[in-house]
Structure 1
Amino acid sequence: MLWQQFQNNMAAFQQFDPNVYDFFKDYEPKRFVVDIVDGFPNILDIEENEYLYNYPAYLIARGQVDSYKDEPKSAGAAFEMNDDNEAGFIHSDTLNQILKVLVNRVEKNGDQVRKLSKLVNSLMVFGVGCGYHIELLSIEHDIKNLYVIEPELDVFYASLFITNWAQVLEKVERCDLKIHFSLGAEQESFFEEVRRQSDLYGHYNIAKTYGFIHYHAEKISALTTEFKQRYAEFIQGWGFFDDAMMATSHMLTSIKQGVPMVKKRSLNENPLSDYPVLVIGNGPSLDGLVEFIKAHQDKAIIVSCGTALSALYQYGIIPDIHCEQERTYPIAKQIEYYCPPEVLDNLILWGPSTLHPDVYAKFPLKVMGLKGAEPTAPLIMESSVSELFEVQPFINPTVANTASSMALAFGFNNIYLLGVDLGHKKGGSHHSAKSMYYTQDGDDLEMYDSNAVSDLELEGNFGGVFHTDSFFGGSRRTLEYLIAGYPEQNFYNLSDGALIKGAVPTPSDTVTFNAGVIENKKEQLCSIMANCSHAGEEPLFEELANDLDYDGYEAFCLALIDAIDNLERNSEAYLELLKQHFLMLIDDKVCLRNHHYQTLKGTVLHVQAMLARILFEAVDEQDALDDFALAAMYYKQFLKDSISYYKENALKPHYYDTKWLAPLEESAKPK
């Protein structure tokens, strides 16, 4: 009987997923094997001489599933309301309205939890075991995306003799469902695989995800911990409509004003390529590296990252290059508090293509890098000068990411990270004591809430534990991706902060630079910046402005609106709308311009994430349908409003004032 089940399952996998079939057709287990105990299938750990189940596996699974249905556990995307909305973003107005629908629903639910509905958007099952729970869940529910995670290959192999996988796979095919296998998964590969799946099938699927843990083991605990700690990464970096509009208007304005863009690395010649580049962040460990910087300033290229310039200036260090990353206008005002304007006049500025043109205007010599995942990237890469440039995918989220990416683009080979802490020790300072976050007397201006940055723990570069949040944790991981993409270049981490894989932990007292003093450093750097960049100015601006295609954007938004207008009023149709809009976004026959996709993508993802939660979290299904219809109305209004906003603001830089700078302004007043 077990052998017949195995043959049936393998035949099904041969048709449905040949990779699984090929891997397991001649597989030989080493630790976990199928055994029969009191007439029931079980799985024996031959190393520990222990059975996975101490009771018939089917009865355990039945009890687990019944209990889970009553109180299902889930993870959901969460966004904060932007009630102030200082910048006047229409994205924030829309999301605020939808979030209020969700908040009202949470209040109405009270302590009640919705039982697992017949229709399930996304379910992650940790642990296969004998697999009866997977059979029960898939038969009794329509699971649009079923993730099957089993770190022990032996255990999954055992399930091929027990679980009716053929029946599960038949329903998946018949009902147009999706099943994703993560077998033999390690922590890192598991999370990245789930991320890839969400990219392929829509982030709204992961924005409301149910989780079912079948059995407890060290490897499964590691996977669930990894998922919980990194879940926020699924909903980071999406951007939003107004953000995308700033990217477009800022880059086009900067091009028109003559700001050049760094060319692809392969086109650049850099006579200083092997000299060290010190990328200096504003972490608390910067204070202990000041003397090292001073001692080596004439032998290295010094790059200040954002507010680190304020600390370096206080220490009497003037960098060669300054770097900024944020696209919003207040950065142009913030820079005024770093140092006197005559200091800025002697610096080279690096920034992404999204940086506000008023920031570039403060520096006589500046170069921008083509930031990825923005509408500006396809605009450039589909233009007449595309062969000159390459997209920089790892240029954000922090200024350290930007500086490192730009240094590589210019052809520098040896990058040293100083004060790039990306976290802080418990109870310790959150930035350099000399930076703009503190008064000259050392008082904290409370512009940065260090208490909030404590939900994640990271291994230290020189040992110890550092506390961070998902934003700086994401910066660390993006740096690791960048470093991995340049195996022939060298990265060294001198910071007493978070460990960054690929950057060699290097105490400053062990560093020696053998290349000697850089002669005429300013002149050489200016020459490199000029030779390694291209300024398109008016002709390129006109070409890109013509490619904005206002009519095409309007037609696409109207197609999305039409899909909302033709909705049937039921859960299946509402979930199908999310899928339909996702497919329309990525279909180049519907969304004719890639930069239109990048413009709308961020807000659509935010809205879809909240719509998924609204659909599945109301205790009463009718409430869910009513709330979804209301939220969809706000979504539809956003799409309408975005049409006129796109036409009116695609070439207009965005300006607004912020209260965030108030402590700086107050501290700068004469006493």
Structure 2
Amino acid sequence: MSQKSLEEQIQQLDEQLSSSVEHQEREAKFAVEANERFARNIACFEKYYPQIATAISEYKVREDFCIHVTTTGVGNFVPKNHHAPIYGDDPISQVSAQVEYGIQHPTFSATDYTASPILEDDKRIHIRYMGALTKAFQEIQAEQKERLTVLPEHFPSAMIFGIGLGYHIDLLLEKTSFDYCFLIEPDFEVFFASLFCTDWFSIIEKVDERGGSLFFQLGADEQTFIQDLETLADDIGAFSVVRSFCYQHTPLPEIIELIQQWSSQYFRFQYGHGFFNDAITGLAHTVHLVEKNTPVLTLPKQKRVDLSTPIFIVGNGPSLDEAEEFIRENADKAIIFAAGTAIASLSKKGIDCDFHILVERPYYNYKVFGDFLPPEEYKKTNLIGLNTLYPDTTDRYKWSGVAGKGNEAGTFLLEVVSQTLNNKGIPLMPYCNPVVANTALSFAMFSGFKNIYLFGIDNGNLPTGEHHSKDSIYRNNLDDENEEGLVCMGMNGKYLPANFGGQVESNDLFMGAHFQLEKLIAHYPNRTVYNIGNGAKLKGAHPVRAEELLPLPEANRDINEQVEFLKSDFFEQFNLEEFDDTLLGVKAFNEICDHVLGLAKEPVSSVKEASDNLLRQARYVYAIRNTALHHLHHMIKGALLYYHCPMLSLLYTYTDEQFTLESYAKVNTLWQGYIIEMKEYYQHNYRTKCDHGKD
């Protein structure tokens, strides 16, 4: 070995030793800082997020859990089931470049507010003001002004997919601020590791000082993510998510899956907020139903009904025809719920139902159903509806009962009446909307039935093209204007997997109904639900072809007796002759409208001022949620969301601030008019039944 070679080896060993010593020094320094940081983070979470603090304290790390210290002196981490660390050797530089790219090339969630239909003949307040809003946005969009292509210094919301070790959060919040920031991380262990690397206490305090809101969705997965986000949006308002900066931090498959889910389910946060006319109609109908002494769903004192009795829930989808013979041959062995227009299809097939399920509040629906069947047919069956139902509907049936629908002004008052008279609240059936099939399945599962069959609950057109049962009141050929029957709701290119291959073409309403059905089935895991035919596949239900169904065994008990037990065990009359109108809070509603109107009239000179003004209005309205004025929150909430969401989006769409503020002022004038009309209408019409559809 040459002298030079020996010297080189000695030098190399010396360098390795020096590097090892330096690394040990970095690790020692990091360990001190990391432990101090962890302690401060825990204290901060205990103050602001006690549930997360508890989860942290109870968390057990894996045996090989380790924060690796890079040559740049910061932490790195290898997630479980992965072979490579999250970052390279210089995480801060790497993340800084990513954040800068995200700011310069942002992805924004957005809604087209020019596509809503304008119904000139519908004079309801909400419909008129939504038509005016649509026209205003069409005019604004026609100007074709330059749109934002860079993330501004303030933006309404952020959806951050992947927390990683948190380095990007601090860097991002140094450059911009958000009113609402959602941090979504599937792997709790990764978040746990970030507690040693990121000053969460500093981030949280910074957001708090700015008056912002920071939400953690830890352990998010495809089963819980959208549902948890919906719960949050319901608590704080959908405006918190509709105009969001969307940022992907880590490229992991589970993160990409959540982003895809957010993209496909985003429409859920744009609509379905309820609105003023619906709210006041539901309130008025509840008052009338109570005064008619209509039985209300309560928690049963006894359960005489045999919960093993099969339940047939019959919708009007085309797969109903496939199971016609099975339903007919087994009708005396099951309790049959006819959902909405399916009652007419069953009648045409010669099959009676035990309960008709209805939810719609407009007079028009009451009138149309009166034309479907002769009065004597309705008198043969019972009705189960929601407390928003048009009150005269109950007079048609042998017996009628209603259940409280969640998120309704009238339901809160129903709760008050029940507490006052019976010293107990009323149960709210979970996931009972948006369509009658949801209500029917919700009631069946709430009641405790174990074996439920779904017929004609297809949530769209079958892969073969059929849209309804051949015996339905809808036209078979929708394009034939000479054919008798109603024109059914069109599908709009949304698709769901079908039970036995192919796809069901759907629309936003049925997509929402399908999503709710799946959540309902998951909510009651110890039930058996059979989904008959090749309609939309339902997670948690057993797909079955009609020809594969086995005949039901003879019923252990008389079905008619079971029906009577179901009515008497689960429903209770209040025996209240007259509703106390002071509970309706006319004076309080006037004050709420005046306050929101006063805020809306305040002058604004910048986009940020306008955004802050909307935020003040919204937080005032949401502050009365879950108070004695809860029903008044529901009275104005829908109107606020349907206007605030597009107004907020407008403020953060264009680069021209002057144009933005001028456009905002026009829409804000409409919003003020809406508030004034709501205030005037409420004090004179809180007992007025819906007249939509009257000649």
TM range (shorter): 0.7 to 0.9
SS at match of 1:637: helix
Between Structure 1 and Structure 2, how many residues are aligned?
653
Counterparts of 1:555 and 1:486 in 2: how far apart (Å)? 42
User: Would the alpha carbon gap of residues 274 and 579 (structure 1) be closer, same or farther in structure 2, given more than 3 Å must change?
Assistant: same
1:563-613, Cα deviation, whole Å (9 max, x unpaired): 223454333433333333333223349975221112111111212211211
Retained in 1: the 8 A contact 2:463–2:502? no
Root mean square deviation, CA, Å: 3.5
Relative distance call for 1:158 and 1:265 in structure 2 (3 A) is closer
Q: 2: CA distance between counterparts of 1:253 and 1:617?
A: 45
1:98 equivalent to 2:169? Answer no
- Mark the runs of 5 or more structure 2 residues left unpaired by the alignment: 1-28, 47-51
- What aligned pairs does 1:410-489 form with structure 2 within 5 A after superposition? 412-439=449-476, 447-448=487-488, 450-452=490-492, 454-458=493-497, 460-461=498-499, 465-486=503-524
- Select the residue among 208, 216, 221 that pairs with 1:186: 221
Q: Which runs of 5 or more structure 1 residues have no equivalent in the other structure?
A: 660-671
Q: Distance in 2 between matches of 1:612 and 1:597?
A: 20
User: 1 CA distance for matches of 2:447 and 2:163?
Assistant: 49
Q: How much has 1:429 moved relative to structure 2?
A: 1.5
SS in 1 for 2:584: coil
Contact 1:264 1:409 in 2 (8 A): no
Shift of 1:410: 5.9
Equivalences for 1:590-669 in 2 at 5 Å? 592-657=628-693
Q: Which residue of 2 aligns with 1:205?
A: 240
- Structure-1 residue corresponding to 2:364: 330
Question: Which of 206, 230, 243 is the matching residue for 1:195?
Answer: 230
Q: Secondary structure at the match of 1:617?
A: coil
Aligned counterpart in structure 2 of residue 347 of structure 1, from 381, 385, 389: 381
User: What is the one-letter code of the residue matched to 1:277?
Assistant: I
- The alpha-carbon deviation at position 413 of structure 1 amounts to 4.9
Pairing partner for 1:227 from 220, 245, 262: 262
Instruction: Quote the residue 2:535 is aligned against.
Output: 497
Partner amino acid, structure 1, of 2:538: I
3-state secondary structure, aligned to 1:355: coil
Measure the CA separation in 2 of the matches of 1:589 and 1:352: 22
Q: Does 1:374 align with 2:412?
A: no
SS in 2 for 1:278: strand
Q: Which residue of 2 aligns with 1:667?
A: none
* Residue matched to 1:402: 439
In the superposition, relative to structure 1, how do residues 22 and 597 fare at CA in structure 2: closer, same or farther (>3 Å)?
Answer: closer
In structure 2, the CA distance between the partners of 1:71 and 1:441, relative to structure 1 (3 Å rule), is: closer
Q: Partner residue of 1:3? A: 31
Q: Distance in 2 between matches of 1:379 and 1:548?
A: 8
**Change beyond 3 A, Cα 1:557–1:499:** same
Q: Which amino acid aligns with 2:406?
A: G
Structure 2 CA distance for aligned equivalents of residues 241 and 253 of structure 1:
18
Counterparts in 2 of 1:154 and 1:260: CA distance versus 1, 3 Å: closer
Cα deviation, 1:46-82, whole Å, max 9, x if unaligned, reads: 9664454568544443333333323421113455434
Q: Which residue of 1 aligns with 2:44?
A: 16
Amino acid of the residue matched to residue 40 of structure 2?
A
**Contact (CA 8 Å) 1:275, 1:515: kept in 2 or not?**
no
For the residue of structure 1 that corresponds to 2:254, the secondary structure is helix
1:406-436 per-residue CA deviation (whole Å, 9 max, x = no partner) reads: 3456665543222212234445212222212
The alignment partner of 2:300 has SS state of helix
Alignment of 1:440-589 (within 5 A): 447-448=487-488, 450-452=490-492, 454-458=493-497, 460-461=498-499, 465-486=503-524, 490-508=528-546, 509-516=548-555, 519=558, 525=563, 529=567, 532-536=570-574, 539-540=576-577, 542-566=578-602, 568-588=604-624
Larger Rg: 2
Verify the 8 A CA contact 1:14 1:21 in the aligned structure 2.
no
The whole-number CA distance in structure 2 between the counterparts of 1:253 and 1:143 is 45
SS class of match (1:187): coil
CA distance in 2, matches of 1:370, 1:130: 45
Q: Would you say 1:148 and 2:183 are equivalent positions?
A: yes
Deviates more, 1:401-410 or 1:346-355: 401-410
In structure 2, the CA distance between the partners of 1:135 and 1:105, relative to structure 1 (3 Å rule), is farther
Distance 1:119 1:575, change over 3 A: same
How many Å separate the matches in 2 of 1:523 and 1:151? 50
Q: Cα deviations across residues 358-405 of structure 1 (Å, max 9, x unaligned)?
A: 433433432222222111111111113353743334322111122223
Instruction: Tell me the SS of whatever aligns to 2:143.
Output: helix
Distance of 1:21 and 1:296 partners within structure 2: 53
Q: Secondary structure at the match of 1:634?
A: helix
Q: Residues 259 and 368 of structure 1 are in contact (CA less than 8 Å); yes or no, is this contact kept in structure 2?
A: no
**Could you list the per-position Cα deviations for residues 103-123 of structure 1 after superposition, in whole angstroms to 9, with x for gaps in the alignment?**
333333446335322112211
Q: CA deviation at 1:194?
A: 2.5
Cα gap change, 1:272 to 1:30, in 2 (>3 Å)? same
Q: RCO (CA 8 Å, sep 6+): is it higher in 1 or 2?
A: 1
- Checking the alignment, whether the CA contact within 8 Å between 2:318 and 2:467 is kept in structure 1 is yes
SS in 1 for 2:207: helix
Q: Is the 8 A contact 1:32 1:45 kept in 2?
A: no
The answer to whether the 8 Å contact 1:283/1:422 transfers is yes
Do the aligned residues in 2 keep the contact of 1:419 with 1:494 (CA within 8 Å)? yes
Is 1:88 the counterpart of 2:123 in the alignment? yes
Taking structure 1 as reference, are residues 332 and 226 closer, same or farther at Cα in structure 2, changes over 3 Å only? same
Match of 2:4 in 1: none
CA 1:283–1:292 in 2, change beyond 3 Å: closer, same or farther? same
Given candidates 317, 320, 330, the residue that maps to 2:351 is 317
Q: Per-residue CA shift, 1:91-134, capped at 9, x if unaligned?
A: 12223333444333333344633532211221112223454432
Taking a change above 3 Å as real, the CA distance of residues 247 and 10 of structure 1, as seen in their structure-2 partners, is same
Contact 2:363 2:390 in 1 (8 A): yes
Instruction: Return the letter of the residue paired with 1:629.
Output: A
Tell me, in whole angstroms, the C-alpha distance in 2 between the residues paired with 1:489 and 1:590.
32
2:181 partner SS = strand
Residues 478, 487 of structure 2: 8 Å contact kept: no
User: Are positions 1:277 and 2:311 aligned together?
Assistant: yes
CA contact (8 A) 1:123 1:143 kept: yes
* Residues 117-157 of structure 1, C-alpha deviations (whole Å, 9 max, x = no match): 21122111222345443232110112222222233445445
After TM superposition, the structure 1 stretch with the greater mean CA deviation from structure 2, 218-227 or 573-582, is 573-582
The separation in 1 between residues aligned to 2:35 and 2:357, in whole angstroms, is: 61
Q: Is contact 2:455–2:531 with CA below 8 Å preserved after alignment? A: yes
The answer to whether the Cα contact below 8 Å between 1:13 and 1:20 also exists between their aligned partners in 2 is no
What SS does the aligned partner of 1:23 have? helix
SS at match of 2:396: coil
Structure 1 residue corresponding to 2:272, chosen from 223, 237, 241 = 237
SS at match of 1:287: helix
Aligned to 2:5: none
Aligned twin of 2:18: none
Aligned-pair distance for 1:296?
A: 0.3
Task: State the match for 1:302 in structure 2.
Answer: 336
Displacement of 1:286:
0.9
Sort the Cα spacing of 1:38 and 1:440 in 2 relative to 1 into closer, same or farther, 3 A. Answer: closer
